[in-house]
Structure 1
Amino acid sequence: MDNAALNKLVDALRDGCDRSFSDARAMPPGVYTSADFLALEEQHIFAREWQCLGRASALKAPGDYLTARIGAQPVVVLRDEQMQLKAMSNVCLHRMSVLLEGRGNVRRVICPYHGWNYAFDGALKGAPMMDRQPGFCKEQYRLPAVRCEEWQGWIYVTLDPAAPPVQEQLAGLTTLIEAYGMSDYIETFYEEHVWDTNWKILAENFMESYHLPMLHRATVGPHSKLEEMECPPGHAAFNYHWITKEASLPIGNAHPDNTRLTGHWRKTTALLAIYPTHLVTLTPGYFWYLALQPQGVGQVQIRFGGGLAPEFIADPEANKHMVTLKKLLDEVNAEDRRGVEAVFRGVHAPLAKPGHLSHLERPNYDFARYLAGKLQSH
């Protein structure tokens, strides 16, 4: 796609976002299929925004680490000896090999290529045989630090030194969901998957519950009352909507020992989309989440995890609740995967054309406006 075509696509996205919500339409197909549009997103969104890498409780002991890629930059987040979270470049300062893979525990960060090794603060501690090079000075080497903050028990990182603190950006959301006590929810499973769809199609699927009765008719659909759903206007860094329901699982409602939530909140599920890629279903009894990383326009890596509120963890039936929750979420995910992969096939069609959004797709409208706003500097 040449520059003129890319500009035309960005203009089409902006033009759609200039419509009032009552006349809003889905985003243009090229937003999902263009590699050049993804390159713009990498430059203006992924290189600058705060992104969630998972639960802080996954790093329990000194040396526990997890790895990720923020745009083109591999990063590692670990617990240091003082139990502080530290994030840094995950690329060796010698010949630029990636250092660590996946998740695990180390006593020192050791390069698998030549054995250069680093302390938890990024300082170079060992470089085999380099003392023979007079120009080499070990003390001059330190892995570049990456900004890392914790919010509500989540690990967030950004490559932008000027980005406002994540606590500040999500202050409005903190207030909205305070009574749930999400910081204390316990992760009971974590997996990684790759689906054949564009990252935004999956994000949008999570943001709207209009599809629940149809796509999830074999699982959670029958328990979802669309007429009672609330989709308020979104905020600059997130959108959300509420569902008040008799849950399909007992853990979907507040545990009898839960004194934090009162009235209808004991049966209210919050669906949170924290831009650009952190998606959380927060119920009074459990939570689950997706954290997305695009792999080209046609694939998305998914960090998928979830668990229980502290009262259900303390319950004698905790293990049974965990198994029940995971079984349901696996079924729901399988339905979502079929849905979002079908949309990705569809957006390539020559006759594909975006239609009007329903009143239940307000979060999708706000997401499109977020994207258009971030890409305006092109």
Structure 2
Amino acid sequence: MASNTNPDAALAIAELNMTCARPFDDARAMPPQVYTQASFLEVEQQTIFQREWQCVGRVSALARAGDYLTADIGGQPVVVIRGSDDSLHAYSNVCLHRMSVLLEGRGNVRTIVCPYHAWSYTLAGELRAAPLMDRQAGFCKEAYRLPKIRCETWQGWIYVTLNPDTRPLSEHLAELSALIAPYEMGNYVETFYEEHVWDTNWKILAENFMESYHLPMLHRATVGPHSKLEEMECPPGHDAFNYHWITKEATLPIGNAHPDNTRLEGHWRKTTALIAIYPSHLITLTPGYFWYLILQPRGVDQVHIRFGGGLSPEFVSDPSGREYMKTLKALLDKVNAEDRRGVEAVFRGLHAPLAKPGHLSPLERPNYDFARYLGQRVSDENRA
């Protein structure tokens, strides 16, 4: 390990790489330190969150000029805003005066106004006004412009990255685009959006989404009785993502293709894809609806969650579509409550002196691939 690597983080990385070196038929869960060490999270921030493409929301959330959303990417506050030119732009969400965060949450503005000293910026990121600064001889308004951040869209999603050298998003996710092309996910319409904070490590929640092995037990009061593990397929993952399929007749009409859907044929009309785009964009995509989680760590012991979902175009047009979605949302809320109890219990258990990672099941192939992704990213050869 490099001399500037924290010794605790170096040990955790070494143990993670030993775990990743095992073949899948002898795979183990990741070591506890990967989830509990602040020094390991610092390495993740440097090698993953400050360098990878990260999703921040749906394009449809920014429909009008001035619509914006905010995020924190590897410690960098970011704002994505619909400009007067109808294009999406991403900027540093930090004032160029005394470095206050500018905007919070989501909303709509005509100008970006700093809440501290009222310096204001246009939707193009140019400094518009700075009270009393015309009295300061050395001040030049034209010299101030919010730094741009790379922003691209894919399948109706907005992604940003702090890395100016990473390959275009369309290339990064080309293999996934080919896999899920029949759904035409870019045309799905978001119908709900929420934000939450849970008391667990971000990777525990990501792994929980990636595997369906826990469904019969953890969700025994909701979706568990309808979950047939033998119906699930978990192929090996790819460099940028992992996935698994569930093909079945859904209990709720929006789980299968709408009668008016002529895009999907054969098994695609009743196949659900569960997709984990690294590092932290998680999507359940069905023929009739989708829902998603976008995760950002808040220290090792908390994760900020963007939770949303919506309908395929055919169900948006169906008079019963919104009612179906309302029923599904009520179910998802119960499922999320179960997941929260589960992932917070795992985080507590990881701190136990006798905690030891066990073998993974055949249905936890996505977790194995996720661990290998993490191990590769945090290793020294990938550090700046």
The answer to whether the superposition gives a TM-score over 0.5 is yes
Which stretch shows the higher mean deviation, 214-223 or 190-199?
Answer: 214-223
Matches within 5 A, 1:319-358: 319-358=322-361
* Identical-residue share of aligned pairs (%): 73
List per-residue Cα deviations over 1:124-172 (Å, max 9, x = no partner).
1111110101100000000000000000000000000001111111000
Alignment-mate amino acid for residue 226 of structure 2:
H
Correspondence for 1:21: 24
2:315 to 303, 312, 315: 312
Structure 2: any 5+ residue segments left out of the alignment? none
Alignment-mate amino acid for residue 263 of structure 1:
G
Distance in structure 1 (CA, Å) of the matches to 2:319 and 2:191: 15
**Does 2:165 correspond to 1:162?**
yes
Distance in structure 1 (CA, Å) of the matches to 2:367 and 2:77: 29
1:172 to 154, 175, 178: 175
Correspondence for 1:211: 214
**Does 2:242 correspond to 1:239?**
yes
Correspondence for 1:7: 10
Q: Would the aligned equivalents of 2:254 and 2:321 in 1 still touch at CA under 8 Å? A: no
Correspondence for 1:110: 113
Distance in structure 1 (CA, Å) of the matches to 2:124 and 2:50: 23
Alignment-mate amino acid for residue 75 of structure 1:
V
**Does 2:50 correspond to 1:47?**
yes
Flag as ranges the 4+ runs of structure 1 deviating above 4 A: none
Correspondence for 1:268: 271
Distance in structure 1 (CA, Å) of the matches to 2:117 and 2:139: 15
Correspondence for 1:372: 375
Distance in structure 2 (CA, Å) of the matches to 1:80 and 1:270: 34
Q: How many residues matched? A: 377
1:97 to 89, 96, 100: 100
Alignment-mate amino acid for residue 72 of structure 1:
G
SS in structure 2 at match of 1:306: strand
Alignment-mate amino acid for residue 232 of structure 1:
P
Q: Would the aligned equivalents of 2:8 and 2:39 in 1 still touch at CA under 8 Å? A: no
**Does 2:376 correspond to 1:361?**
no
Please report how far the alpha carbon of residue 4 of structure 1 lies from its aligned counterpart in structure 2 after TM superposition: 2.8
Q: Would the aligned equivalents of 1:92 and 1:98 in 2 still touch at CA under 8 Å? A: yes
Distance in structure 2 (CA, Å) of the matches to 1:5 and 1:64: 43
Please report how far the alpha carbon of residue 3 of structure 1 lies from its aligned counterpart in structure 2 after TM superposition: 2.9
Distance in structure 2 (CA, Å) of the matches to 1:308 and 1:103: 21
Alignment-mate amino acid for residue 274 of structure 1:
I
List per-residue Cα deviations over 1:178-223 (Å, max 9, x = no partner).
0001001110000000000000000000000111111111222222
Distance in structure 1 (CA, Å) of the matches to 2:8 and 2:326: 50
SS in structure 2 at match of 1:38: helix
Which stretch shows the higher mean deviation, 213-222 or 196-205?
Answer: 213-222
Alignment-mate amino acid for residue 333 of structure 1:
N
Matches within 5 A, 1:117-196: 117-196=120-199
Let me know the Cα RMSD of the aligned residues. 0.9
Structure 1: any 5+ residue segments left out of the alignment? none
**Does 2:343 correspond to 1:301?**
no
SS in structure 2 at match of 1:296: coil
SS in structure 1 at match of 2:250: coil
TM-score, with length taken from structure 2: 0.97
List per-residue Cα deviations over 1:257-289 (Å, max 9, x = no partner).
111111111111000000000000001111000
Distance in structure 2 (CA, Å) of the matches to 1:225 and 1:101: 42
1:248 to 247, 251, 273: 251
TM-score, with length taken from structure 1: 0.98
Alignment-mate amino acid for residue 177 of structure 1:
I
Distance in structure 1 (CA, Å) of the matches to 2:204 and 2:138: 52
Distance in structure 1 (CA, Å) of the matches to 2:350 and 2:288: 37
